[in-house]
Structure 1
């Protein structure tokens, strides 16, 4: 049986919470790298939004799931 190495099982994945509107049920934020800066000086940085089933080479097992 293969180990689940998708974003939803990674320690750097956080469920996507939206202040207004709604986010797809399988969306989350990747907290591996710092937020991406925005072109406007007064804009906040944004964390990359990923699908729960995405994957990357930086996967680290979720300590919460262990």
Structure 2
């Protein structure tokens, strides 16, 4: 599970994502908070932020698409 949230989000309080992360029973979880970013972290943010968010998503997908899944 990956959770992405802007710390300056006025629509959904970032503490909601923090609480979700803490309560999630999965040990495979990642919380990414973006300083000074608002609700739509891929729109209307500085290019540097958008590229960081996209990089975090791609890295997470790369890590999780290369894992071996046991066949039972």
TM-score (norm 2): 0.23
Which is higher, the Rg of structure 1 or of structure 2? 2
Instruction: Give the structure with the larger helix fraction.
Output: 2
TM-score (norm 1): 0.25
Structure with more relative contact order (C-alpha pairs < 8 Å, separation 6 or more): 1
